[in-house]
Amino acid sequence: MNKTARRAATVRRMLRFVKPYGFSFVISLVTGAVSVAALMYIPVLVGRAVDMIAGEGNVDFSGVSGVLIRIGAVIAVSAVFQWIMTALNNRITYNVVRDMRRQAFGTIQALPVSYIDSHSHGSVVSRVISDVDVISDGLLLGFSQLFTGVLTIVATLVFMIRINPVLAAVVAVLTPLSLFVSRFVASRTFGYFREQAEICEEETALAEEIVSSQKTVKAFSMEDGVREKFRQVNGRLEKATVRAVFFSSLVNPSTRFVNGFVYAVVALIGSFIVLGDIPVWALTVGGLSSFLSYANQYTKPFNEISGVISELQNAIACAARVFELIDGERETEKVGGAGPERVRGDVEFRDLSFSYKKDKPLLTGVDLSVAAGQQIAIVGPTGCGKTTLINLLMRFYEPDGGRITLDGVDIRSISRHRLRSNYGMVLQDTWLKNASVRDNIALGKPDATDEEIVAAAEAVHAHSFIKRLPDGYNTVLGEDGGSLSAGQKQLISVARVMLCLPPMLILDEATSSIDTRTEMEIQTSFSRLMKGRTSFVVAHRLSTVRGADRIIVMREGDIVESGTHRELLEAGGFYRHLYDSQFAH
């Protein structure tokens, strides 16, 4: 599909977002037509007033006064209908961009984790916020000026033909030159605006990355480096923006030059007609005055439309990027809703294989059977596939081969929502939303009582520090937990799971940011929580998995050992090597 076809497809899709507001759109067109019609009547009245001034002492003052009153009334009518049209256009535009943002954000929730992992978060945010803002600006100009501009051109042409067809033909022949100029420039600005949007996305992503990791930047004294990197990206954005704005800005002065030339030619020819030097179609001074007013109104929309075209080029470029996000491949369910509401917890991995990149296999032929209620610890060096197993278990990713069953049912035939509702999950990377401590703990159970929330916090030894916060459980946390320590944020995350009491648990380095004493206390709470529940515990610190029913040892994507802590130590294999490396003096 070439550029023209892509732009046309994008415009058609934008119009589909306008379709639900068709009634308001029609009313907007009607009010716009009334406003334009009223404005078109004013030059007629002005011409009559001019003709009433026949010479010194022959002025029809009463007639002129009456005309002036009518002009004032017509202007008032035009202004009212113009206001109604603008209000309706604003409403349509902001409803459309609201719907686009809703659909884009809904798509983000439906996108597979692989998409989020492979795209810059700042890039995604830029499309939902910045690009949609640009679309809003383009739609506002398009609705408000494109229709009224075209209507004005048609109406003024009709009035000019009625006054003097010869002059009307001159205007009609010369004025379209401005359209050719604007089209020539606009056809070359689309690529510049798209480049501008892409670099703006890159800059947004970089800013988001640096701001979110500012502590690390300062800790490693990287301020000068990131400042230089931002300067480079910002410089490229400046150049792209200057190119886009410069070429789009050529449209208006070019069309104004053409329109000024047309106005001068018409005024000159019209003057000769009035004086009788060109004996074609009688024309009075008032008629010439009206005609010149119409000629000016006729050419003015060409300037406005040229500006609209530039804005629409930018809006279409941004809309194409938003639609790319909306069209992202969504997670699909083969059989929605299948599977039990609450599972027992029998899990089996059969000949499981997976790779993030097809040319670099990670898991190959993994077999593992877990009985309901077992506590399974997964250990091994970094990058061996521990977290990948959890990603597959939660259906964040789908296996390339083999299958995972839950209570004998292939998890691909269980809806993701139902599958994940049976798991409680605590990750090493905690996430707290900008809300109160109470709301953060109750994330998985919004209807929890205060007593249940406090009990969950006490069970993980978070109650004491929460009570010391300024407003206790009502303290509103800032972005990503605000000033809470990493350990405190993790305790709140653990309290969430303690509150929900799901039939199965996944703990991925759940106590990695907690001090040793608190970790020992939480392990006791975890022991109570995991009793009778199938649990998967991913850990680097082997001291936290000694009590597991079975320890799975992974290395380079394979399960190389399996057994209890004592059995693995006695075997003297890879687990013993890991253990000795942590505890050897």
DSSP class of 475: P
**Do 103 and 188 reside in the same domain of the chain?**
yes
**Do 263 and 362 reside in the same domain of the chain?**
no
**Do 60 and 116 reside in the same domain of the chain?**
yes
Helix (H, G, I), strand (E, B) or coil at 307: helix
Tens-digit pLDDT string for the chain (585 aa) = 567 777 788 888 888 888 888 888 889 888 988 888 888 888 878 777 777 775 555 767 777 788 888 888 988 998 999 899 888 888 888 888 888 888 888 888 888 887 777 777 777 888 888 888 888 877 766 766 777 888 888 888 888 888 888 888 888 787 777 767 766 766 667 677 778 878 887 888 788 778 777 767 777 777 888 888 888 988 888 888 888 888 777 777 777 777 778 778 888 887 777 777 666 566 777 777 778 888 877 777 776 776 677 777 778 888 888 888 888 777 776 554 555 667 788 899 999 899 888 778 888 888 889 888 888 989 888 888 888 888 898 888 888 899 999 888 888 888 888 888 888 888 777 778 888 889 888 887 888 888 989 988 888 888 888 898 888 898 888 766 667 877 788 888 888 888 887 888 888 876 666 667 767 766 776 777 777 888 898 887 787 788 888 999 988 888 888 888 888 888 888 888 888 887 654
| Rounded-to-integer distance, Cα 532 and Cα 580, Å | 31
**Do 451 and 549 reside in the same domain of the chain?**
yes
CB-based contacts of 461, cutoff 8 Å, min separation 6: 491, 518, 521, 522, 525
Of the residues 296, 326, 356, the one at which a domain ends: 326
**Do 248 and 375 reside in the same domain of the chain?**
no
pLDDT at 334: 56
Residue 333 forms part of a structural domain: no
288: CATH: 1.20.1560.10
Please name the amino acid found at residue 384. Answer: C
CA proximity to 167, closest of 261, 259, 281: 281
pTM: 0.65
**Do 306 and 413 reside in the same domain of the chain?**
no
Of the residues 297, 326, 355, the one at which a domain ends: 326
Residue 334 forms part of a structural domain: no
Q: Which two tokens stand for residue 113?
A: 């984790």
End-to-end CA distance of the chain: 67
pLDDT at 585: 47
Residue 332 forms part of a structural domain: no
pLDDT tens for 280-333 read: 566 777 777 778 888 877 777 776 776 677 777 778 888 888 888 888 777 776
**Do 322 and 353 reside in the same domain of the chain?**
no
**Do 311 and 388 reside in the same domain of the chain?**
no
pLDDT at 518: 67
400: CATH: 3.40.50.300
pLDDT at 80: 93
| Rounded-to-integer distance, Cα 379 and Cα 138, Å | 55
Q: Which domain holds residue 372?
A: 347-583
pLDDT at 483: 74
Residue 557 forms part of a structural domain: yes
DSSP class of 202: H
**Residue 507, beta-bridge partner list:** 426, 537
**Do 274 and 406 reside in the same domain of the chain?**
no
CB-based contacts of 359, cutoff 8 Å, min separation 6: none
pLDDT tens for 145-161 read: 777 888 888 888 888 88
Residue 87 forms part of a structural domain: yes
* CB atoms near residue 147 (< 10 Å): 18
**Do 445 and 537 reside in the same domain of the chain?**
yes
Q: Compute CA distances 430 → 262, 461, 505, 507, 522, whole Å.
A: 68, 17, 16, 12, 16
Residue 337 forms part of a structural domain: no
Helix (H, G, I), strand (E, B) or coil at 479: helix
Please name the amino acid found at residue 318. Answer: C
pLDDT at 281: 63
DSSP class of 476: B
pLDDT at 265: 81
Q: Compute CA distances 510 → 145, 413, 494, 565, 572, whole Å.
A: 58, 29, 7, 20, 28
Residue 246 forms part of a structural domain: yes
* CB atoms near residue 577 (< 10 Å): 10
Q: Which two tokens stand for residue 145?
A: 């000026």
Q: Which two tokens stand for residue 105?
A: 């954000």
**Do 139 and 241 reside in the same domain of the chain?**
yes
Number of domains in the chain: 2
**Do 288 and 373 reside in the same domain of the chain?**
no
Q: Where are the beta strands (DSSP E) in 361-498?
A: 363-370, 375-379, 401-406, 409-410, 423-426
Residue 174 forms part of a structural domain: yes
pLDDT at 257: 79
